[in-house]
Amino acid sequence: MSLIYNAAISFYQTGINVAGRWNEKARLLARGQKQSMGLLQQQIVAGQRYVWFHASSLGEFEQGRPLMEELKRRTPEVKIVLTFFSPSGYEVRKSYAGADVIVYLPMDTPGNVARFLNIVNPEKAVFVKYEFWANYLTELKKRNIPTYLVSAIFRPQQTFFKWYGGWYRKLLSAFTRLYVQDKTSEELLKTIGIINVTVAGDTRFDRVSEIAAQAKNLPLVEAFAKGRQVLVAGSSWPLDEDILFDYFNTHKDLYLIVAPHVTSELHIEDICRKLKRPYARYTKTDERDAANADCLVIDCIGLLSSIYRYGQIAYIGGGFGVGIHNVLEAAVYGVPVIFGPNYHKFREACGLIDAGGGFSISDTEQYSELLDKLMLDVNYLTLCGEKSANFVDQNLGATDLIMQQLA
């Protein structure tokens, strides 16, 4: 099986190199991986203590971030090496100050793995959520380097739990401990003999709580929202926006802040064309004009997690596509959170619905009925918001639990 896996990795590497001729993401990945070893040799200092964190992309980075920052607080002498596989993670966080060295993960070939570990020589390794690189895990175990999986979720459909998954099951034995998000994952792992498991929850709860505590003051947004009933729509896509605008355009008592996932000029202009009430663009207005607008269009990035605090209701985009974006960034502020139908793979969204603070809608009619209820019944609106906040509060603590072994 190892021969087949290594052949597949080599084929994958070739595919990335070929695709890089016309695909920007593949080109960034191929170029970044080629540079990784050189960057490591330049930046790794012999004799220093290093802990290696690997996050596939941006979402996994956010789950690993509370651990990296807490590790730095507790043991400032320890250096952190952070690797990414996806350009959508690396290119956004390559200047992250919480890590000492940040590179693309070299492809999982035996030669790359040996060279990477020889250079870094980590005293511990931490993989976030879904990362199971066979050669890295095998070599880490061979070198007796403590290795952890954090914020993981396991499902019956995964190869580990199939009759043909024996080789993949062996990979799990490389982990010193697996920190999983829920009891279901723990029980599944028990069925295949993996018992070095701790139900720790999801570090994203700790992360959003920290973000909320450090939220930026945004005077322009505050001027827009003051004294109004505001819905904040975050990471929206066109299908979300069609539903949002249909209601907004005909309900004068609701004010809207829309922060689309894509902030290209073409998309912003499309949003503005669909609005039938006065609007202002964040980067092209001032506090006075914002206060006179009915919709504030956020045409830049980096503000959304702080903007949610100014709303009484939140809508999270992506649920009419491949899946919803981060519901916790809004829920932490104690507001009801609405999203589309493609949410079932997201444990936090399911939990938020069960707690009474989250709502899934499938069409304009369902959205209108829900908004009418929230807008007309202040007590119901307040109760749902409290349930959102309580859901986040009750799931804090994963970082401290994991740090008992990492620090």
Q: How far apart are CA 197 and CA 205, in angstroms?
A: 20
| Residue ranges covered by each domain of the chain | 2-210+397-406, 216-394
At 21, the pLDDT band (50, 70, 90 cuts) reads confident
pLDDT at 229: 97
Predicted pLDDT at 55: 96
Mean pLDDT along residues 106-134: 95
Q: Which residue has the higher pLDDT, 384 or 130?
A: 384
The fold for domain 2-210+397-406 equals Rossmann fold (3.40.50)
**pLDDT of 179 over the 90 cut:** yes
SS3 sequence of 44-65: CCCCCCEEEEEECCHHHHHHHH
pLDDT of residue 19: 86
**C-alpha pair distances (Å), 228 with each of 26, 248, 294, 310, 386:** 45, 14, 10, 10, 19
**% of the chain surpassing 90 pLDDT:** 89
- Place 263 in a pLDDT band, splitting at 50, 70 and 90: very high
Say if 2-210+397-406 and 216-394 have the same CATH topology. yes
Q: Is the pLDDT of residue 407 over 80?
A: no
Query: 288 by DSSP, 3-state: which?
Result: helix
pLDDT of residue 130: 83
- Strands, E assignment, 170-217: 177-180, 197-199
Q: What CATH superfamily is the domain 216-394?
A: Glycogen Phosphorylase B; (3.40.50.2000)
Band (406; pLDDT cuts 50, 70, 90): confident
What is the model's pLDDT at position 223?
Answer: 97
At residue 108, φ and ψ (nearest 5 deg) are: -80, 60
Question: Whole-number mean pLDDT of the chain?
Answer: 95
Beta strand 295-297 pairing with 313-316: unpaired
Q: Both tokens of residue 215?
A: 């939220």
Tens of pLDDT, residue by residue over 279-309, are 999 999 999 999 999 999 999 988 999 999 9
Per-residue DSSP letter, 310: G
Cβ atoms of 253 and 230 closer than 8 Å: no
Looking only at the bridges linking them, the beta strands covering 279-281 and 295-297 are parallel
